Amino acid sequence: MGMDVLLTGAAGFIGFHAARRLLDEGHTVIGVDNLNAYYSASLKLARLARLRKYESFTFHSLDISQKSALDTALEDSRITHILHLAAQAGVRYSLENPHSYIQSNVVGHLNVLEFARHRKAIEHLVYASSSSVYGERAAVKGFTETDRVRQPASLYAATKLSGELLSESYARLYDIPQTGLRFFTVYGPWGRPDMAYWIFTQKILSGDPITLFAPNLMQRDFTFIDDIVDVLPKIISQPASHHDIYNLGNSAPNKLHDLVTAVEMACGGKAEIILKPQQAGDVQKTFADISAAQSAFGFAPKTDLQTGIANFVKWYRDWHQA
């Protein structure tokens, strides 16, 4: 059956890909986004222009941290499911602009919960959490959803963890079935200009040096966007019985040096490297145990870093030539 999905953060990286997949599968998408200037608004508008080509896509420019903005804009819209991705993302920027994280990720999250509470037709609310909630930990094996998470290393992580707690209380109080997804470093075409893979590509192609922060210590579980969107419609269409949380990662961490090598190979150039110590807010390693999402949804990421980065760099070149 076709779903009518309210998608917050529809002009964002993951939101754009998720919207496209849902629309391609015949669902209706009502997108919202405030198109903020954290990174290039023209990239967000270009994503949106592609979504507007679908008849079953509508869009509202609004800020979810404004109480009742959703109610006012969506008064007459039929909505059966919510995919809530809008957030102030980025670990490092949370040191510079902490209040924007509380506004979008805590106040905004609460407003989405309130919207769901008063809309009886909503069968399932799926929202984005983050691998950052795990904080710094000795990772000889993958992080699991049942691990204790009480020590966020950045304000960004603290706000994503707060979102999970707000959701748990609303699931209990108002019986709103919810699923939280802890994404692990998602990358790919139409990606985010603030993330390392984009910055390295830009600098290597223009012959500028790249800065690596404690590269011998850093590992990330890089997850290709297509592997995420392959499973999203299934997750949204299977309401949780109460409130479930799943890791969505590649479950195969790579060293930061592997990322540099993959970008160098895809760009056909060698990086000049500036070394710096670890940055405040960064954790050394992320590593997803994905057995829960595997058994619940058949989640099976299949893209290795080299393949995914080659795919991104191809898109990046086209995008900058267009």
Ligand X SMILES: NC(=O)c1ccc[n+]([C@@H]2O[C@H](COP(=O)([O-])OP(=O)(O)OC[C@H]3O[C@@H](n4cnc5c(N)ncnc54)[C@H](O)[C@@H]3O)[C@@H](O)[C@H]2O)c1
Q: With contacts defined by CB under 6 A, name the span among 168-176, 181-189, 204-212, 272-280 that binds ligand X.
A: 181-189
Q: Which residues of 122-154 are buried (b: 16+ CB within 10 A; e: fewer)?
A: bbbbbbbbbbbbbbebebeebbebeeebeebbb
Residue number with the shortest CB distance to ligand X?
12
Which candidate in 156, 187, 197, 246 is catalytic?
156
Q: For residue 218, what are the contacts with CB-CB under 8 A and spacing of at least 6?
A: 255, 256, 278, 282, 284, 285
Told to check if 11 binds ligand X by CB under 6 A, we report yes
CB nearer to ligand X: give 179 or 185.
185
Q: Does the annotation mark 93 as catalytic?
A: no
Q: With contacts defined by CB under 6 A, name the span among 21-29, 62-70, 171-179, 252-260 that binds ligand X.
A: 62-70
Q: For residue 321, what are the contacts with CB-CB under 8 A and spacing of at least 6?
A: none
Told to check if 12 binds ligand X by CB under 6 A, we report yes
Check residue 104 and report its DSSP letter: I
Closest-CA residue to 186 (of 134, 228, 230, 133): 228
- As a whole number of angstroms, the distance between CA 25 and CA 15 comes to 15
Q: Report CA 308 to chain centroid distance, whole Å.
A: 16
For residue 196, the minimal CB distance to ligand X (Å) is: 10
CB nearer to ligand X: give 80 or 104.
104
Told to check if 74 binds ligand X by CB under 6 A, we report no
- Residue 264, helix vs strand vs coil: helix
Query: One symbol per residue from 189 to 218: x for binding ligand X (CB under 6 A), - otherwise; what is it?
Result: ---x--------------------------
Footprint of ligand X (CB under 6 A): 9, 11-15, 33-36, 44, 63-65, 85-89, 104, 108, 128, 130, 183, 185-186, 192
List, by residue number, the catalytic residues: 156
